[in-house]
Chains A and B, each alone.
Chain A
């Protein structure tokens, strides 16, 4: 597609439930990133994919968080047993590669609210 597409745009879930967030990057972009942004806070890095592999998972806050990417395209971020502190906007970004001057293109995010 023309841009990075994320779904759902909004998700309200009960504490303890699992959620899946989806990201469809720009076609041909090999690098894919997940960030989250809490209200009034900066972007917090979660995980980076190059193709289907994830060289850097260091930002995942706990083992309740996992992500995968298939076919070098769509990625899914899964949060198990959601907690209220997981409430945030989850942003996905993609880029052509890791060359120094490539910026990222972000999707519009999934606003997750855990009640």
Chain B
């Protein structure tokens, strides 16, 4: 079983729509959580950390549910520039390599 699993999509949504991605992780000892964004043929870039209480950054809201071991990312009022692949990332903090990346969810925002 993979450490981190995401729906690969693609999600095709119109501008202005609200879209949500979920991600599940297998290890209950996971310590911290992130969402990264990766544009086509570019490197991943940190979008936001995910805190237990949930956190918001502008149009982006991240939630963590430790009991069910899933993380979500909500994007409101989608912009064309939001089109990218969104990677769910989990930090186990138990070994030398402790950051596990999901394979990503592809989002395309349509005019």
Number of A residues, CB within 8 Å of B? 23
Contact with A along B70-108 (1 / 0, CB 8 A): 000000000000000001010101011111011110000
For the complex, what is the distance from the CA of A103 to the CA of B99, rounded to whole Å?
9
Chain B residues with Cβ under 8 A from A70's Cβ? none
Which residues of chain A are within 8 angstroms of B49 by Cβ–Cβ distance? 101, 103
A45/B97 contact (C-beta < 8 A), A100-B31, A101-B32, A103-B34 known: yes
Given contacts A43-B44, A106-B44, A107-B43, A50 and B93 within 8 Å (CB-CB): no
Say yes or no: is B42 at the interface (Cβ < 8 Å to chain A).
Answer: yes
Given the complex of chains A and B, what is the CA–CA distance between A41 and B45 in angstroms?
16
For B46, give its contact among A48, A100, A104 (CB under 8 Å). Answer: A104
Residue A58 is within 8 A (CB to CB) of chain B in the complex: yes
Query: How many A-B pairs fall under 8 Å by CB?
Result: 48
Closest residue of B by beta carbon distance from A56: B96
Give per-residue flags for A40-68: 1 if the beta carbon is below 8 A from chain B beta carbons, else 0: 01110100101000011011000000000
Chain A residues with CB under 8 Å of B102's CB are 42
A→B interface (CB under 8 Å): 33, 35, 41-43, 45, 48, 50, 55-56, 58-59, 91, 98, 100-101, 103-109
List 14 additional contacts besides A33-B99, A55-B96; criterion CB under 8 Å: A35-B101, A43-B44, A43-B101, A56-B97, A58-B97, A91-B43, A100-B31, A103-B36, A103-B46, A104-B46, A106-B43, A106-B44, A107-B43, A109-B43
